[in-house]
Structures are given as structure tokens and as C-alpha cells.
Amino acid sequence: MSTTTVSKTSSGKRARERARVSAAKEAFIRAVRTLRPTRHTGGRKREARRWLDVLAARSTNGVRCPNPITIEEGARLRSQAFDDLKASDKVLFDAVMECMDDRMIADYGITIAEWSARGRRRMRRLAKIRATLK
């Protein structure tokens, strides 16, 4: 008795599917980079990711939020934060925009299970940040 399993899908069909998804993702990346080309961010991507996480923690509700933030208030907070950042630190603003583009590209074409796992990890990270902000 053999321990190998027989695939229900031929390897050629899977390869063609991967190539199709890969070609679609490459086209998506080109479109994003055309709209907002890569900027010189001075090595501030880690700081930009942290800024985005802190902004998300401040402008969204946690699990047990005594004073919930409405969608309109959260949008106003985010918009004001981006405007302030653009006025005060253009290089960090460019790094933040590049991080947002990178996240959008990374999320393109993932499965719902992968998306859900990323969301759970992000919510745990934001909960830790909210705890330090209090």
C-alpha cells in the first residue's frame, strides 16, 4: 500500500492558475506603483508602520471601549492625523503612504483564511498598543 496521495488537480493546471494569479498581482503592483511611485523614505518604514498602528489604535474601538468612537469620528481623526503629518514631516508621511501601498499589495489575492489570520494578529497588536496609550 502506497502512502502517497493522488492529486485531484494536475500539476500543470495548478501551475497555470499560479501564473494567472501571479500575472494579475504583477499588474496590480504596477498599477499601484504608477499611481504612487516608490519614494525616498530615509529608512523610516519601521517608524511609519508604528505610526499607522498607533493611529489605528487611537481611531478605532477596542473590545471593551467605554466611550465608543463613531465611524465619522474615526475618519475625522485619521484625516486630521494625515494632514498634520504631511505638514510636519514629509519624509515620514511618504514612508506611511508607502507602507499603506505595501500592505495593500500584500493583501491582494490572499484567501479569506489568511485575511482572517492577519486581522486577528493585527487586533492583538492594536490591543497591546491601546494598553500602553492609557
| Predicted TM-score of the model (pTM) | 0.72
Query: Where would I find the H helices in the chain?
Result: 11-35, 45-59, 71-88, 90-107, 112-133
pLDDT band at 31 (very low <50, low <70, confident <90, very high): confident
As a residue count, the chain comes to 134
List all residues 6 or more positions away from 91 whose beta carbon is below 8 Å from its beta carbon. 40, 41, 42, 44
pLDDT tens per residue, range 35-58: 776 677 778 999 999 999 999 999
Q: How far is CA 58 from CA 38, 47, 103, 114, 116, in A?
A: 28, 16, 19, 25, 22
- Where on the phi/psi map is residue 131: left (φ > 0), alpha (ψ -120 to 50), or beta? alpha
Yes or no: say if 57 and 126 are a contact pair by the CB < 8 Å rule.
yes
pLDDT band at 108 (very low <50, low <70, confident <90, very high): confident
For 38, list phi and psi in degrees, rounded to 5.
-60, 135
Half-sphere exposure of 35 (CA within 13 A, CB side): 8
Question: What's the pLDDT at 10?
Answer: 58
